[in-house]
Amino acid sequence: MRLGGFGPVGEAELERLRVAAPTYDHVGSTLRSQPVPGVNRHEQRLAVGRGRADLEAARLALRAWAPQRALGATVSPAGVTPDLDATVVLGIGVGPARVRFANRIVVVIDEPDRHGYAYGTLPGHPERGEESFVVGVDRDGTVWATIRTDSEPAGPLGALAPVLRPVQRAAIGRYLSAVARAVRSGRGSPPRSG
């Protein structure tokens, strides 16, 4: 299944993706502390605020796809939310250089002190694996955003893995910055690294 191209994702394409199985066998791995043997793990964390109001702002940022939109991604279908089993296609690029990344929400976290989701790759995605977006509050009131990936290149991109890993790390940094911006909008406090 080819997902390149420009424009919105068609309904027939979405239907094929909705019934497709994830392209990896370690569903939920990004929420476990131990990485999957043989799979590339990357994680970054950023303190984005303090207290319950900031946790709620961070949760809302994740629900509105703020991290993905910070990369200039389009989110299809229109109005999709990160709910369990939802299929989402992210489009990045311009014109013929646009690439689509199909994912399924495989885990949702909705706890008093922690919120987020993980999505896994579907056929046509240039990687195999999972990415999680989680926000939580520590006992001291610090609100953290954590992005974790367990992935490996799929298909012809395997040869580009050494080039793609730094790109992925930069993207994760932008994801975290987007959550921090959403939280501090209106209160002006800078994020801390950690």
Ordered structural domains, the chain, with CATH: 11-30+39-186 (3.30.530.20)
Q: Which has more confidence, 38 or 65?
A: 65
For residue 176, pLDDT beyond 90: yes
Helix, strand, coil % (nearest 5) of the chain? 30, 35, 35
Q: How far apart are alpha carbons 136 and 169 in whole angstroms?
A: 21
Residue 193 clears pLDDT 70, i.e. is over it? no
pLDDT in tens, 100-155: 889 999 999 999 999 999 999 999 888 899 999 999 999 999 999 999 999 988 87
pLDDT-derived band of residue 190, with 50, 70 and 90 as boundaries? very low
**158 three-state secondary structure:** helix
Q: Report the candidate in 89, 79, 93 with the shortest Cα–Cα distance to residue 18.
A: 89
Q: Is 41 helix (H, G, I), strand (E, B) or coil?
A: strand
This prediction has a pTM of: 0.87
